[in-house]
Amino acid sequence: MAKLMKDIEVPSDAPKEILFEKHVQFINEYGKDEDNFEYGMTDYLRLSGMYWGLTALELINAQPSQCKDNIIDYVKKCQDTNSGGISACTGHDPHILHTLCGIQILAMYDRVDAIDVEGVVKYVKSLQQPDGSFSGDKWGEIDLRFSFCSVMTLSLLNRLDAIDLEKAIEYVEKCKNFDEGFGSRPQSESHAGLIFCGVGFLSLVNRLDIINRDSLAWWLCERQLPSGGLCGRPEKLPDVCYSWWVLSSLAMLGRLHWVDGDSLKTFILACQDAEIGGFTDRPGNVPDPFHTIFGLAALSLLGEKHIQQVNPTYCMPQSVIERLGLKPQILT
């Protein structure tokens, strides 16, 4: 007898509608209290948290409680005047993950002019290695995530010409496995989060032809479990964030319809916290801004009509991507 796969059961009393007002409240309250223990423990996520929360609010047509000028000012304060990179919060070292989040926030508010753009371009350029890969910061960790974040940052600034793009593509191709999935480095196990980075990178540089799309789409749709939720690799539990990593990859590959949207929606809705708002990874757990943006963005890809259309490559509102004149490759 085949071994049963890991899964959860969706509780019958779990939410079945989108709790819009609760989510606005949750995001605007999150991390407001600077004396809070959690606030102090999450400073390394400050700018990412801002990108997750602000994008989530934008997608549900709500306003942040913080004034936009303060937000822009904060990103500005996180830019390191020497390297040009942006850090997670003031006083930290710059990193490509936070540089991208800073640029995404500024691009969303049409304010990239507020920082030293040439400094950011110089920083991204400094991270590229001779084999085409990118390190995350000056300390040298290499990961496919950093190739994706570097290229997305430059694409939002219209400065893809600043790096050796051919070498960058060559390296990403080396991270592709026999199953058409991507791992964090060459020879690393395929993982849905890294597949999003690989597919997203190739969508940004218009080279999705490198992927055998149906083989990869098959691997991706096999991540759907009987509960409707998606997991990140075989034999793992479902988690709301994979609704984004898997679904957005399928959307870029033109195979979104290969998952069962109705049962996935039921799973995502069941991951809302009915009391304080926000989304959790699995029903009954504690909500956070990371799972909240990816829950809402996945519902947008599923065609939820009260959520703004999200772009599957940038995870930003489609209206922003169009205003910037960006055209990532999306297969039909």
Unique residue bearing structure tokens 């003031």: 90
Those residues whose C-beta lies under 8 Å from the C-beta of residue 283, and which sit 6 or more positions away, are: 8, 10, 11, 14, 270, 271
Q: Which residues of 34-58 are buried (b: 16+ CB within 10 A; e: fewer)?
A: eeeeeeeebbebbbbbbbbbbbbbb
Quote the least distance from Cβ 93 to ligand GRG, whole Å. Answer: 17
Cα dihedral 238→240→246→248 (10° resolution): 170
Residue 84 CA to residue 329 CA, distance in Å, equals 29
Instruction: Between 191 and 255, name the residue whose CB sits nearer to ligand GRG.
Output: 191
> What residues numbered 267-286 form the site for Zn ion, per CB under 5 A?
281
DSSP bridge pairs for 86? 79
Assigned token pair, 214:
């149906």
The DSSP output letter for 210 is: G
Closest CB to ligand GRG belongs to which residue? 193
Contact 192, 223 (CB under 8 A): yes
In terms of Cα–Cα distance, which of 145, 119, 120, 147 is closest to 132? 147
> What residues numbered 306-325 form the site for ligand GRG, per CB under 6 A?
314-315
> What residues numbered 190-229 form the site for ligand GRG, per CB under 6 A?
191, 193-194, 196-197
Closest CB to Zn ion belongs to which residue? 241
Instruction: Between 84 and 232, name the residue whose CB sits nearer to ligand GRG.
Output: 232
Residue 236 interacts with, from ligand GRG, Zn ion, none (CB under 5-8 Å by kind): ligand GRG
Instruction: Between 60 and 97, name the residue whose CB sits nearer to ligand GRG.
Output: 97
> What residues numbered 241-270 form the site for Zn ion, per CB under 5 A?
241
Residue 304 CA to residue 38 CA, distance in Å, equals 32
The span of 10-18, 84-92, 186-194, 257-265 binding ligand GRG (CB under 6 A) equals 186-194
SS (H, E, C) 271-290: CECCCCCCECCCCCCCCEHH
Cα dihedral 114→115→121→122 (10° resolution): 160
Quote the least distance from Cβ 151 to ligand GRG, whole Å. Answer: 11
Residue 46 CA to residue 39 CA, distance in Å, equals 9
Residue 32 CA to residue 81 CA, distance in Å, equals 28
Q: Is 236 a residue that touches ligand GRG (CB under 6 A)? A: yes
Quote the least distance from Cβ 232 to ligand GRG, whole Å. Answer: 4
Residue 292 CA to residue 140 CA, distance in Å, equals 31
Q: Is 288 a residue that touches Zn ion (CB under 5 A)? A: no
Q: Is 86 a residue that touches Zn ion (CB under 5 A)? A: no
Contact 145, 199 (CB under 8 A): no
Site mask, ligand GRG, residues 79-98, x = CB under 6 A? ------------------x-
Residue 124 interacts with, from ligand GRG, Zn ion, none (CB under 5-8 Å by kind): none
Q: Is 149 a residue that touches ligand GRG (CB under 6 A)? A: yes
- Choose, by CB under 6 A, the member of 239, 273, 288, 304 that binds ligand GRG: 239
- Choose, by CB under 6 A, the member of 26, 134, 201, 245 that binds ligand GRG: 245
**What residue type is assigned to position 266 of the chain?**
T
Q: Is 105 a residue that touches ligand GRG (CB under 6 A)? A: no
Instruction: Between 83 and 150, name the residue whose CB sits nearer to ligand GRG.
Output: 150
Quote the least distance from Cβ 111 to ligand GRG, whole Å. Answer: 19
Instruction: Between 239 and 273, name the residue whose CB sits nearer to ligand GRG.
Output: 239
Number of amino acids touching ligand GRG (CB under 6 A) = 16
Name the site residues for ligand GRG (rule: CB under 6 A). 97, 145, 148-149, 191, 193-194, 196-197, 232, 236, 239, 241, 245, 314-315
Name the site residues for Zn ion (rule: CB under 5 A). 239, 241, 281
